[in-house]
Every structure is written in C-alpha cells, then in structure tokens.
A = this chain, B = another copy of it.
Amino acid sequence: MENLISALHADISVIGTLKTFRKGARMLDMGMPIAHLYLVVKGRVIMTKNFRNSKKRHICHIMYPGEFVGIGEIFSKEKTSRMSAFALGEEVRAWKIPYFKFELELRQNSNLVDCIILQFIKKRQEIWKRYQRKRSLSSPDVIIEFLKDIAKERGVAENGWIVAQGFTHSELGAYIGICRQSITQTLNSLKKENLIKYNRSEFLINPKLLQK
C-alpha cells in the first residue's frame, strides 16, 4: 500500500497542481457542479452532508493523506457534488486535479484504479463500523471505541501517552452520531479517570484505554 501511494503521487504530480487550504476552507460544495477532485497530501479533510429530515450537518468521512476527495462523482452521471468538503482543524495541502485529466489517467493507470478501489473498500468499512456501533453500543461506548480507533490507526506514542489529532466536541459528534452534550460528559469522565487528556489540537490517550 505504501508503495502504491508513493507511485501514485508521482503520477498525480503530472496532472495536478499542489494547493494549500487554510483551516475551515471549503474545497467542495454540496449540490454544485464539480470539475476538480483532490488528493490529500497533508492534514485532514471532512466530507459533510446535510440530510433530508435533519437540520444537523453530518460528517460522512474524514479523508487523510493519500486519499481522494470528490472521487465518487467521476463514476456517476451527475457531475454535482454529493457532499461538501472542508479543511479540518489545520492547514491542508492537496493536489487539485481536473476531472478530464484524471479520467484519462484512469484509463491507462491500473495502479490508480487499485488505489481508488482500496479507498472505497476502506471507507465502506469505516461506515460499517460506525453504523454497527450505533446499532449495538451505548453512547459512551461508541465514543470510547472511536478514541481507541484513532489511537491505533493515527496515534503517535509520546511520554507514555498516545497522541492523536484533535476534533472539537461538535465535530466528534457529527462524525459518530452522538450529541455534543454526551460527548462532553463522556470525555470529562474519562479525563477524571486519567484515561485521556485533550486540548483544541490533540487527544492524549492513555494506553490503558486500549485494554478497556
């Protein structure tokens, strides 16, 4: 997978231009025509959707470096974006790629096809995980399982803690489908038990939490 991604960056650098997005910058706009997609190089991008029957904004996906933003629309008839995309919590760097160039590349680059399909499978598994937890666990347990995930998948060991990039309480809620109040309550009680520490930019997770 690592080799796939580095080969991919070399291919994409020919057809895309590297752009920088500030915290909160909008990269895609739900319902608007799109002519570009992005390959994330640094930082995180959130894909959000306003669902019918709901005023809340949901975070559908978090895209990390090596992942494409706006990929689904290439293969569907409608060339309007089904989600909005925003730079999350820090500066984001990404390749901006015109659709028509990407489509041409796709026809000759089986490496790129593999990357895309792997990304679809991975993101589908992430949705499943969240859906399944929502079906079978209590709110505090949903939050704990999420913290374990980011510690395992994105965490860096430091002074006996595992450091992972931060989310605000409402971002966290919009991602795992728990109201902000329950998030705050659960995080506070985990903090009292010394299982986590957090600030605006990061979560520090006690390795003991992973055994929970």
Chain A residues packing against B (C-beta within 8 Å): 51, 53-54, 56, 58, 60, 72, 75-76, 107, 110, 113-114, 116-118, 120-121, 123-124, 127-128, 130-132, 134-137, 177
Q: Would you list 8 pairs from A and B whose C-beta atoms are within 8 A, ordered by A residue?
A: A51-B136, A54-B135, A58-B132, A75-B114, A75-B121, A117-B117, A127-B131, A135-B177
- Give the residues in chain B near A75, CB-CB below 8 Å: 114, 117-118, 121
Chain multiplicity (copies): 2
**Docked pose: A120 CA to B128 CA in angstroms:** 13
User: In the assembly, what is the distance between CA of A130 and CA of B132, in Å?
Assistant: 11
Min Cβ gap A177→B in Å is: 5
Give A60 to B124 CA distance when docked, in angstroms: 11
Residue of B nearest to A114 (CB): B75
Nearest CB to that of A145 among chain B residues? B53
Contact of A128 among B60, B76, B121 (CB under 8 A): B60
Sample of 9 further A-B pairs with CB below 8 A, known A58-B132, A120-B120: A54-B132, A60-B128, A72-B121, A75-B118, A75-B121, A107-B110, A120-B121, A123-B124, A124-B127
Residue ID in chain B nearest A1 by CB atoms: B77
Given contacts A60-B128, A127-B128, A135 and B134 within 8 Å (CB-CB):
yes
Nearest B residue (CB) for A60: B128
Residues of B within 8 A of A135 (CB): 54, 58, 134, 177
Which B residue sits closest to A131, measured CB to CB? B131
A131–B130 alpha-carbon span in the complex (Å): 8
Residue of B nearest to A108 (CB): B110
Kindly state the separation between the CA atoms of A132 and B128 in the bound complex, as whole angstroms.
12
Is the Cβ of A51 less than 8 Å from the Cβ of B120?
no
